[in-house]
Amino acid sequence: MHPLPGLRHVHRSIGVVCAAVLLAACSSSGDGGSSDEKAEPEASATPAMVNTSGLKLPLDAYDATEEETRALQEGQGVLVSRCMEGFGFRYSLPARPTSSATRHPNARIFGVVDPEDAARYGYSAPGDDSAPGRTSQQLTPSEELALNGAPDLKPPDMPNSQAEAEKKGGGKERINGKAVPVGGCGREAFLKLYAPEPNAVDAMYVFNLKAQAESRAREDSRTKAVNKHWSDCMARSGHTATDPMNATTELGIADDALASPAAITAAKADVGCKKEVNLVGVYFAVQSAYQNRLIDENAETLDLAKKQLTDRLKLAASLISAP
C-alpha cells in the first residue's frame, strides 16, 4: 500500500507439464523453509495459470486493497485541507487519475498475459491513454510554506510520528502568527494517518517485503528455468529475449511504441509462450513461496501492520464522513 504521493515531504523513501516437473524437481533441492536466504523455499504446488486478473499473493492479505487505498488517500486529503484551513487557505489535493489498469493491481505483475490485451494493446496497459487527473493548483509562497514547510528541511529534521511532532511543536516558520508544522500540512496529514505513534509500522513495510520476495524469486533456479523455456519459445517465433520481465527493452520496443504493430506482434508471441511453458503458474508458486517465508520471519511486525491498517481505515472513514 502506497501513501499518497505528490507532496514534497509526505514520505521519502515489482510446455506446462515440463515446467511443473522442473519446479517440483528444483523444490526438492531446497531445505523447505530455512531462514538461509540462499536456500530455495519449497513450493507446495504449481498451478496451471494463464490469467493474473484478481490474483492474490500471500502478502496481499496484509496490504490495503485498491478500494481501501482510495479511502486512505481521501482521508489524507481531508487532513491536509483541514490543516491548510487553519492557516486561512482553501486547498484540496489533486485527484489521482483512475484507469482500468489500476483496478487489478496484480493484473500485470508477471507482464502481459492476456491474449486479448496483447492483440489490442501490445505491451501498453489498458487505460494508459486515460485522461490525467486534476493538476495541482497554483500556490502563493505562503500557501507553499503551509503545505510543504520550509524548503531547506532535511530528513533528519522531520518528525517520525505525530506524537513526536506534537512534543517538539511546530517549526520556526509562522503564518498569521501560527507555527507551521515541520514538513507542512502534507507531513502532518501523513503522520496523523500513517504514524500517529512511535510504534507505527512503516507505511512501505509490506511493499518492501513484496519487493524483497520478487527480487529473490527472480534469482530462483525454477524461475530461471522457466525463463529459458520461454526464451526458446520466443526464439521460435523470431523474437530474441531472455527475461519476460524486461521483454520490451530486450526486444527494442520504445516506451512510445508499446502499442505499435511490432509490439502487438511480439506481445502476442510473448503471451503464447507464457501459456506454453506455464510461466505464470511457476512465477506465482515461486514468488508465493518467498512471500510465505517472509511472512513466517516477520509475523509479529506484519500482524501489527495489519492492525494498524484497520485503525487507519477507521480514521479515514470517520474523516470522509465528517460534515
Q: With beta carbons less than 8 A apart as the criterion, state whether 126 and 101 touch.
A: yes
The count of C-alpha atoms lying within 13 angstroms of the C-alpha of 314, restricted to the half-sphere facing its C-beta, is 6
Per the model's pLDDT, the better-predicted residue between 319 and 5 turns out to be 319
Q: Amino acid identity, residue 29? A: S
Please list, in sequence order, all residues whose beta carbon lies within 8 angstroms of the beta carbon of residue 303, skipping any fewer than 6 positions away: none
Phi-psi region of 177 (alpha: psi -120 to 50; beta: other; left: phi over 0): left
**What's the CA gap between 203 and 81, in Å, rounded?**
21
Mean predicted confidence (pLDDT) in 229-237: 98
Angle at 132 between CA 75 and CA 257, to 5 degrees: 135
For the beta carbon of residue 110, count every other beta carbon within 10 angstroms. 20
The Cα–Cα gap between 208 and 179 comes to 34
Higher pLDDT, 213 or 36: 213
Query: CB–CB of 136/6 below 8 Å?
Result: yes
pLDDT score, position 216: 97
Tell me how many degrees the CA angle 16-19-20 measures, rounded to the nearest 5: 85
Mean pLDDT to the nearest integer, 66-83: 96
Q: Which residues pair with 206 in a beta bridge?
A: none
Average pLDDT, integer, range 209-219: 97
Q: Report pLDDT for 35.
A: 47
- Does residue 277 contact residue 214 with C-beta atoms inside 8 Å? no
Measure the CA–CA gap between 165 and 187, rounded to whole angstroms. 10
How many residues appear in the chain? 323
- Structure confidence by residue, pLDDT tens digits, 109-149: 999 999 999 999 999 988 755 445 455 678 999 999 999 99
pLDDT band at 93 (very low <50, low <70, confident <90, very high): confident
Residues 223 and 42: their CA atoms lie apart, in Å, by 13
pLDDT higher than threshold 70 for residue 53: yes
E strand or H helix at 174, and its extent?
A: strand 174-175
Q: Amino acid letter at 302?
A: L
Q: Please name the residues in contact with 268: beta carbons below 8 A apart, sequence gap of 6 or more.
A: 115, 118, 119
Q: If you average pLDDT over residues 195-223, what whole number do you get? A: 97
Give the confidence band of 254 by pLDDT, cuts at 50, 70, 90.
very high
Higher pLDDT, 253 or 98: 253
Q: No. of H helices and E strands in the chain?
A: 12, 2
Nearest of 74, 89, 86, 4 to residue 321 by alpha carbon: 74
* Residue 310: partners with Cβ closer than 8 Å, 6 or more residues away: none
Contact 145/175 with Cβ under 8 angstroms? yes
